[in-house]
Chain A
Amino acid sequence: MSSTLADTAREPRSDATPAATRSRGEVLLTLVRRELWEHRALWIAPLCVAGLLALGTALGRVHIDLDDAERLGSSPYALLTIVQFVLAIPLYAVALCVGSYYLLDCLYAERKDRSILFWKSLPVSDGLTVGAKLLVGLVILPFGVFALALVAQPVYTAILETRVAVGRLPGILNWSAGEWLRTEAVMFLVTLFGVLWWAPIAAYLMLVSAWVRRAPILWATLPFVLGPLLEWVAFGTRYLLGFINYRVNGIWDILGVEHANIVTKHGLHPVGTALEVLDFRGALTAIDLWLGLAATAALVYAAIRIRRYRDDT
């Protein structure tokens, strides 16, 4: 009989004694793994591009004008570092694409497939969940791509050296561990400042992802199109467009990229020379960088608050 169920219920289990706690680090690591399980494009796409680049260096045609070859004389290691730098660009480009899509999708997808009810049935705070997603989009992906480039570039160099050895290419790539490391240092610092500068854009994408009920791509881009358009129609000014342009490209001005003359008509210079030219100290103390980080904190906080009472509806 139903009325006797409670009376006949078993005594509580006493043998099952799982670990009493999970540290925040343990939980965060699990949350990050879960993001990489779900959004496999985050690591598959850069790996595919790295593979294609390896194929390209092995089979691609290399065309060097005599004029260029003469200019190589200005620095024996310049071409090595430029090849190293240029081959990393496609990896960063694909990371930018998959990363932007990921940030815009990560808090929306869990409501779309209703899995938010499962995630929320577990003892994980909204802060930690949103934090893990931001960590993946803003730290693990860009620095993961940096690490991938770090590993891939010696492979590309080895492939090119092999082609030189079998006489298919002129021997113009001179290996220098020091120059190679200096180029990596430039790439690391540019990655770091790129992440810090674009953090508010990443947080904005997450906020849209947490907020909208449908069409996150549309809602994310609409303000950037309509805002400047309306301003121009109403006032004939372009302040908003200028501001958006500044928040996207301003870091290059702050770093003084225009002074880093790697390729000039007088010759090629190693990428590592940018270490002396780029104003990293100035960028670190730029008020706009820190204002952007403050805006990031505010936007992330808003995304956490919005997710707090979001369900599958």
Chain B
Amino acid sequence: MTAVIEAHGLTKSYGATRALDGVTFSVEPGRIVGLIGPNGAGKTTALKAILGLTPFSGELRVLGRDPRTERDALMREVCFIADVAVLPRWMRVTQALDFVAGVHPRFDRAIAEDFLKKTDIRMSSRVRELSKGMVTQLHLALVLAIDARLLVLDEPTLGLDLLYRRNFYDTLLNDYFDKERTILLTTHQVEEVENLFTDVIFINHGRVALCAAVEDLSSRYQQLTLATEQAAHARELQPFYEREIFGRVAMYFEGRTAAELGAFGELRTPSIADLFVAKMQGTGSR
């Protein structure tokens, strides 16, 4: 199956700072990929490269196209919601629908209108009159109505309350996602959406720290919780990160088997949030 995104050696510098430092990964169709990293890790730069919004060096194909030279054609099949509401504040809801209908060949106005009917958004309202949650709903309505193959979301629910956040992701799953569509999502609220991801890419200091399918994590990573007095023996198996929890120690291992670790304590697959913290702060990080 052809990859939706194939990145090889992506590099981008801002002055002396390397925002992307040889980033390599690929994304298959029909996946929901979490691009996760701390502030300043290079997530947004990577997304901007994918969207053709910033120059970079290295190889990148998105839906088989080079975003540097084929951006206009690419954007017919890619949708994008930025980290905060960026819909123009002067625009009316009807104008937003008119505009997207006028420029996007894959926009189905009826879908957007049906979605908006289920919300409190009035068609005559200006964007500046809507709450932040409503603006995100409006943007989502526009995006749902576009028959795109790749949806890029950069912190789309930042600043929204829990209800709007939950509705946003439920709508994405129920009304948008299908086997031919791919969603690439960055978020700080990893715990809230980690059950959504089929794949994760951890990025730190402009480098990929982990790129894996969620279903493979259980065979690759183990979290061992054990008594403090057992820790010295377990440490010999070289955990890449450990932390204390209520007088016990949690250790994180890569590539160890249950047979090797099971005798020391309680073994489980770490959550994505725990794995992220372990990877960012563990020995593998810089």
CB within 8 Å of B: which residues of A? 1-3, 5-6, 9-13, 16, 18-22, 26-27, 29-31, 33-34, 37-38, 110, 113-118, 120-125, 309, 311-312
Residues of B within 8 A of A3 (CB): 198, 213-215
Interchain CB contact under 8 A, A123 and B147: no
Give the docked Cα–Cα distance between A27 and B105 (Å). Answer: 10
Is the beta-carbon distance between B213 and A124 smaller than 8 angstroms? no
Q: How many pairs, one residue from A and one from B, have CB atoms within 8 Å of each other in the complex?
A: 125
Residue in contact with B105 in the complex, picked from A1, A20, A110, A309, CB distance below 8 Å? A20
| A26, A29, A37 interface centre (most CB from chain B within 10 Å) | A37
| Residue numbers in B under 8 Å from A311 (CB-CB) | 48, 53-54
Given contacts A3-B215, A34-B99, A120-B53, is CB(A12)–CB(B178) below 8 Å?
A: yes
Task: Provide the residues of chain B in CB contact with A30, threshold 8 Å.
Answer: 98-99, 102-103
Using Cβ atoms and an 8 Å threshold, which residues of chain B touch A120?
Answer: 51, 53, 75, 80
Assess whether B180 is interfacial by the CB under 8 Å rule: yes
With A9-B178, A115-B88, A121-B80: A22-B198 Cβ-Cβ less than 8 Å? no
Q: Which residues of B contact A (CB under 8 A)?
A: 30-32, 48, 51, 53-55, 72-73, 75-76, 79-82, 84, 86-92, 95, 98-100, 102-108, 111, 139, 147, 173, 177-181, 194-198, 213-215
- Cα A31 to Cα B23 in complex, Å, equals 36
**Once the chains bind, are A115 and B86 in contact (CB under 8 Å)?**
yes
- Pairwise interchain contact A123-B75, C-beta atoms closer than 8 A: yes
Cβ–Cβ < 8 Å partners of B76 in chain A: 123
B interface SS class: loop
Q: Is the CB of B54 within 8 A of A117?
A: no
Which residues from chain B contact A10 at a C-beta distance below 8 Å? 177-179
Selected A-B contacts with CB under 8 Å, 18 pairs: A3-B215, A5-B32, A6-B31, A21-B105, A22-B104, A22-B105, A27-B102, A30-B99, A37-B92, A38-B90, A110-B88, A120-B80, A121-B75, A121-B82, A122-B100, A124-B72, A125-B72, A311-B54
Given A5-B198, A113-B88, A117-B82, A123:B107 Cβ within 8 A: no
Q: Known pairs A3-B213, A12-B180, A16-B147. 17 more at Cβ < 8 A?
A: A2-B194, A3-B198, A5-B198, A6-B179, A9-B181, A27-B102, A30-B98, A38-B91, A114-B82, A114-B84, A118-B88, A121-B75, A121-B82, A122-B103, A122-B104, A125-B72, A311-B48
Shortest A33–chain B CB gap in Å is 7
A118 and B87 in contact, given A2-B196, A6-B198, A18-B108 (Cβ under 8 angstroms):
yes
A144 to B180, CA, bound (A): 47
CA distance A31 to B31 in the complex (A): 34
Contact B32 A16 (CB under 8 A): no
Complex interface: chain A residues within 8 A of B102 (CB): 22, 26-27, 29-30, 33
Query: Which residues of chain B come closer than 8 Å to A9, judged between CB atoms?
Result: 30, 177-179, 181
Chain B residues with CB under 8 Å of A118's CB are: 82, 86-88, 139
Chain A residues with CB below 8 A from B107, complex form: 18
- Cα A6 to Cα B82 with chains together (Å): 24
CA distance A281 to B99 in the complex (A): 42
Find chain A residues with CB under 8 A from B95 CB.
34, 37
Q: Given the interface contacts A2-B195, A20-B105, A33-B98, does A12 sit within 8 Å of B90 by beta carbon? A: no
Query: In the docked arrangement, what's the CA distance between A27 and B51, Å?
Result: 21
Chain A residues near B180: list those with CB within 8 A. 12
What residues of A have a CB within 8 angstroms of the CB of B84 in the complex? 114
Point out the residues of chain B lying under 8 angstroms from A20, CB to CB.
105
* Cross-chain contact A22 with B87 (CB below 8 angstroms): no
Residue in contact with B147 in the complex, picked from A1, A6, A18, A21, CB distance below 8 Å? A18
Q: List, in ascending order, chain B residues with CB within 8 A of A6's CB.
A: 30-32, 179, 198
Q: Which residue of B lies closest to A120 (CB)?
A: B53
Contact indicator B106/A18 (Cβ below 8 Å): yes
Which residue from chain A places its CB closest to the CB of B200 in the assembled complex?
A: A2
Task: Find out whether the CB atom of B103 lies under 8 angstroms from the CB atom of A124.
Answer: yes
Chain B neighbourhood of A114, CB < 8 A: 82, 84, 86
CB distance from B140 to the nearest CB of A (A): 13
**Complex formed: what's the CA distance from A210 to B277 in Å?**
41
In Å, the complex CA distance between A117 and B156 comes to: 13
Residue of A nearest to B181 (CB): A12
Q: Are B73 and A123 in contact (CB under 8 A)?
A: yes
Question: Which chain B positions have C-beta within 8 A of A29?
Answer: 102
Which residues of B are found within 8 Å of A27, using beta-carbon distances? Answer: 102-103
B108 and A123 form a contact (CB under 8 A): no
**Chain A hits for B91, CB < 8 A:** 37-38
B217 to chain A, nearest CB (A): 9
Contacts of A18 in B (CB 8 A): 105-108, 147
CB distance from B168 to the nearest CB of A (A): 16
In the complex, the answer to whether A309 meets B177 with C-beta atoms within 8 Å is no
**Are the CB atoms of B178 and A121 closer together than 8 Å?**
no
